Structure 1
Amino acid sequence: VRHKLRQKYGDVVSEKGPIPAHLLGNMWAQTWGNIVDITLPYPNVTSPVVTQEMLSQGYTPLKMFQTANDFFVSLNLTAMPASFWEKSILEKPSDGRELVCHASAWDFYDNDVRIKQCTRVNEEDLYTAHHEMGHIEYFLQYSTQPVAYRQGANSGFHEAVGDVISLSVSTPKHLQKISLLNHTSLDISEALNSLYKTGLDKIVFLPFGYIMDLWRWDVFAGKTPKDNWNCKWWELRHDYQGVEPPVDRSEDDFDPAGKYHTVASVPYIRYFVSFIIQFQFHRALCLKAGDYVPNDPNKPLHNCDIYRSTEAGNALGDMLQMGASKPWPDAMEVLTGQRNMDAGGLLEYFKPLQTWLEEENNKNGVFIGWEPTQRVCSSSKKKKDDAEPDSTSESS
């Protein structure tokens, strides 16, 4: 990414230093999908235009959620109850009501589940609809548990369930099945472009997902004093993400508060965990669906679609029904046969991309890693108040 950005912006981007965060296409530089057009491995290869196809077919926010519901039903999981369709808010109200548009899923118990989302008709929101409905499916599956156990095995499980569905939904073969794509097979350049696009979201997010609560926990523990809150934030972003602020920062700024989860006191480590275990879940489900065979180039993990696989759906349902009634390793074992979180699924999913990146960087002599930033974060950028004029300078 740095090499491509340097080709576009010149010396604004250092050859060996961190990347200026404002060039990465996202307010928090947590995902970099918005710069895919200028960094794509094969920019001249035509990519599927799913949003355009959705618009041409007259998709609405309601149809997007009906499509998501169909996916879960095809797995032999629970359909959304009638009250879901009556009480959910699936698009921004037009009657003047104010609404926090951050997508969220709600469990009011007694089979009353709802989604609040200001849905737009595009590819990204189609995947978000599946993600949020994943939360709802989890609510419904563990609804027979005692109230104390009606939650995810751990908070990362809840986030991973929706995302693991999206990993199938975003494959060319699934988009073809639901008539949003005209072809299913990708040549190597198309496959790498698709994996790269996914990596700009999934891989890039990992260090950001980790430092959010690393910063917060150190603040709560008193390890980071108040007069170093902002500079510590940028230190972590530099060390883990390899990004730098576009301009010098100081303790007069409070950049962590630019993130909703910071000011709303929403724990964030769940997202980091989910981005690891969703690939662990995906690998297990794909094995059960028979749509992935290890070491078979014709059935790679990154092109697996579990749609209509009741074997995969039943296995997923068995785990979801447990809620928090057992320690999370027990729930993990029910689905994957493993008791630990494991990044093997993620590494296997992106293996073709990793191989290409290593070869491409070596060919271009790209520097790996980053040297220290030249940006400064200081205690204060405010100038001291002007001193009172000396009496000798006053007129008599």
Structure 2
Amino acid sequence: MEAKRWRWPLVCWSVGGRFVRPSAHSGPHIRSGRLPLFRDATRSSKYSSFYRATNAFRMRALLRLWLLLLAGSWRGGICLDPEQDTDAEVEAREYLNYLNKEMDRRTNLNMLAAWNYASNISEENLAKQIAVEAENARFQKEQWREMMKYPWQSYKNDDIKRQFSMFAILGSAALPDEKFIEYQKTLGDMESIYSQAKVCGFKNKTNCDMHLEPEITARMAQSRDPEELKHYWVEWHKASGAKVKHLYPKYVELANEAAVMNNFTDTAEYWLWSYEDPHFQEEIAHLWQQLKPLYLQIHAYVRRKLREKYGENIVPRKRPIPAHLLGNMWAQQWNLIYDLTTPFPGKSSVDVTPQMLHQGYTPRKMFRLAEEFFTSMNLSAMPETFWEYSILEKPKDRNNIVCHASAWDFYDGKDYRIKQCTTVSADELSTAHHEMGHIEYFQQYRDQPHIYKNGANSGFHEAVGDVIALSVQTPKHLRKIGLMEPNTVIDPEAELNHLFHVGLEKIVFLPFAYTMDLWRWDVFRGQITKDHYNCAWWKLRTDIQGVEPPVDRSEDSFDPGAKYHIVAGVEYLRYFVSFVIQFQFHQAMCEAAGQFDRRNPMSKPLHECDVYQSKEAGNLLGSMLRLGSSVPWQKAMEIMTGQGKMDASALLQYFSPLQQYLERENKRTGEYIGWTASERKCVQTEEELERMRAAATTEQNAEEAK
């Protein structure tokens, strides 16, 4: 008989912050054998009582553990060795079942409080939301302590290990109670300032009740007066970004503190961790280099068209494009200046806004149209509660609402809502499909345990509605739903118009999305300090996106804070990921629908595909959506597309006719590709800017006197 070899018993608790015997399977969230929650509890005297209680808890657990060791039995103690006793995983599964159900219940209460605040901003509703979130955070910390009793890193069941590893990251809930409340209050205050910001009109200076949605957004899209556009750009950045400047450093400090307590170096590392790839930042940089040549062609072409419209004194031939001229407050998408930049103006237009208005479209009708697209593919309709509780247009009786479009899952398997201050336009129709894509995802994974009720990664969630919109925007589909005349001729020039319109939405967005988080990664890592927030922001915007502010800037301003996702603390890389993978999804669904053949890609061009009414495409999409985050995103991607990685080839295939056209056209007109350095100044204070302006005026007057 083989002699039994003595083994170290599995010890899962820690002494002084280190495991006695760290598991070989420890994941990235328990690096170096440290416990995430209490990693840095000794750094500040503020934590002294908290740390003493924690140490007492650890010592009691350690004493119990060694008593059990002496007794020779592990069955009644903190840990069970899964290599010896399969009951360990049964017990762990039972605990996870309890925790998932309880988290669903608690998150439902949390979402209700958050909805009440976002749809009716008031100090009272903010206080209620923070109270619910604080209670939730306390519960999560209690359960984290309970979870550490389980030796989950050594379990054989991959699903149990995955659930434990995801629950082990507490996020901001890891903060001590008083700091968690301060963190939530800081975010709430910034969102409140942003959502209630107002400016005065350009022509009617007495009308000082203009909000971002819909008034300012409409003027940025519709006005072709550069002075009016400059007015709204400058005033919005004053009313929003500049007013949250004093709050943002505190948010950064607390967000980083929470990240450290979750065993991450900083919030940048925490955000990137969710993509389950240690080299994900490098992968994004590589993808951008693949996509940059197409962007440069669009940028050069648009700059020429704007120069022809406004003159070289406003849009210089080689300079970055002034950000206020691009139809959008943040220059993130340029499709709203399509009328100024259309390659073939005499051909059919894909902007169906006039038809929608003529046919009496309403916000509700737009969302019903989006719902019908999903159901035509054998996916789920919206529940009746959706139509009862959603806010689909801005309430007429109040302005205290966060108008930024959002989709909400209330974690009870039946309550899903959208909040959007919808106006009738082709652009908003795409947004309606995007937001309903989130709801579709929520419904498809509703039977997953709480911890898996999420996208395979955050980019997947953003891609679902957008991949549907790729079909919705095609001339083929617009004819089907009566928004384009049946006899409309779609010749190669009209097709290029369509591709260009999509490119103004999809391609130009990529460098903006990239810079949003490049800037924040450097802020969180301490490479950009609060004294240089604004100038560093514009350096990235200019270097990568090729846009510049309409006026000189200073550090007294805080232009990043004029964007909702900055003040709300929402990671933005998800949108970059989404804008790449949605084309991978589109290609896979088009193949399933029999509308694309990668062996002969031009026989049925990818940009002409419309998966409307294709149950095969819907079934393929549904098979991926139902997984939630129960598997790594690479596995979900493989199920959907046949390959387990992000790849720009589908996007480049989609836009290949446009890229070829732009290269020919820019060469024909001799357009400069790229841009020289911006001549806009960014200095430390507004006083310094005033001195510079005064000196320039004096110099100009002297020249004129000569």
Task: Report the TM-score, using the length of structure 1 for normalisation.
Answer: 0.94
Quote how far apart the aligned CAs of 1:57 are: 2.4
Who is 1:125 aligned against? 428
Distance 1:383 1:345, change over 3 A: closer
Q: Out of 633, 639, 659, which is 1:334 matched to?
A: 639
What pairs up with 1:67-216 in 2 under 5 angstroms?
67-96=369-398, 98-110=400-412, 111-183=414-486, 186-216=490-520
Who is 2:655 aligned against? 350
Is 232-241 or 95-104 further displaced after alignment?
A: 95-104
Who is 2:331 aligned against? 29
Is 255-264 or 29-38 further displaced after alignment?
A: 29-38
Who is 2:117 aligned against? none
Rounded Cα–Cα distance in structure 2 between residues aligned with 1:36 and 1:53:
17
Rounded Cα–Cα distance in structure 2 between residues aligned with 1:96 and 1:21:
31
Secondary structure of 1:358 counterpart: helix
Quote how far apart the aligned CAs of 1:87 are: 1.3
Instruction: Give the % identical residues.
Output: 63
Kept in 2: contact 1:173–1:185 (CA 8 A): no
Quote how far apart the aligned CAs of 1:49 are: 4.9
Number of residue pairs matched?
384
Q: Which has the higher helix share?
A: 2
Quote how far apart the aligned CAs of 1:335 are: 0.4
Rounded Cα–Cα distance in structure 1 between residues aligned with 2:687 and 2:416:
50
Quote how far apart the aligned CAs of 1:185 are: 5.2
- The reply on whether 1:20 has 2:303 as its aligned counterpart is no
Opposite residue 53 of structure 1, the aligned amino acid is Q
What pairs up with 1:230-245 in 2 under 5 angstroms?
230-245=534-549
Is 2-11 or 110-119 further displaced after alignment?
A: 2-11
Quote how far apart the aligned CAs of 1:283 are: 0.6
Who is 2:304 aligned against? 3
Is 110-119 or 333-342 further displaced after alignment?
A: 110-119
Is 298-307 or 143-152 further displaced after alignment?
A: 298-307
Rounded Cα–Cα distance in structure 2 between residues aligned with 1:279 and 1:126:
19
Who is 2:214 aligned against? none
Opposite residue 423 of structure 2, the aligned amino acid is R
Secondary structure of 1:145 counterpart: coil
Opposite residue 534 of structure 2, the aligned amino acid is N
**Cα RMSD between the aligned structures?**
1.5
- Deviations for 1:51-93, whole angstroms, at most 9, x for unmatched residues? 2222232222222111111111111111111111111111222
Opposite residue 402 of structure 2, the aligned amino acid is V
- Deviations for 1:7-28, whole angstroms, at most 9, x for unmatched residues? 2222222211211112222111
Task: Report the TM-score, using the length of structure 2 for normalisation.
Answer: 0.53
Q: Out of 553, 568, 572, which is 1:264 matched to?
A: 568
What pairs up with 1:200-349 in 2 under 5 angstroms?
200-294=504-598, 295-349=600-654
Taking CA–CA contacts closer than 8 Å with sequence separation of 6 or more, which of the two structures ends up with the larger relative contact order? 1
Rounded Cα–Cα distance in structure 2 between residues aligned with 1:383 and 1:164:
48
- The reply on whether 1:377 has 2:377 as its aligned counterpart is no
Opposite residue 189 of structure 1, the aligned amino acid is E
Is 12-21 or 337-346 further displaced after alignment?
A: 12-21
- Deviations for 1:231-272, whole angstroms, at most 9, x for unmatched residues? 100100011001112121111111111111111111111111
Gaps of 5+ in 2: 1-301, 690-706
Rounded Cα–Cα distance in structure 2 between residues aligned with 1:194 and 1:129:
20
Distance 1:177 1:298, change over 3 A: farther
Rounded Cα–Cα distance in structure 2 between residues aligned with 1:50 and 1:71:
17
Kept in 1: contact 2:350–2:473 (CA 8 A): no
Rounded Cα–Cα distance in structure 2 between residues aligned with 1:319 and 1:166:
18
Who is 2:277 aligned against? none
Is 199-208 or 57-66 further displaced after alignment?
A: 57-66
Rounded Cα–Cα distance in structure 2 between residues aligned with 1:49 and 1:274:
23
Is 22-31 or 90-99 further displaced after alignment?
A: 90-99
Who is 2:342 aligned against? 40
Quote how far apart the aligned CAs of 1:44 are: 2.4
Q: Out of 349, 367, 378, which is 1:65 matched to?
A: 367
Kept in 2: contact 1:90–1:115 (CA 8 A): yes
Secondary structure of 1:126 counterpart: helix
Gaps of 5+ in 1: 385-396
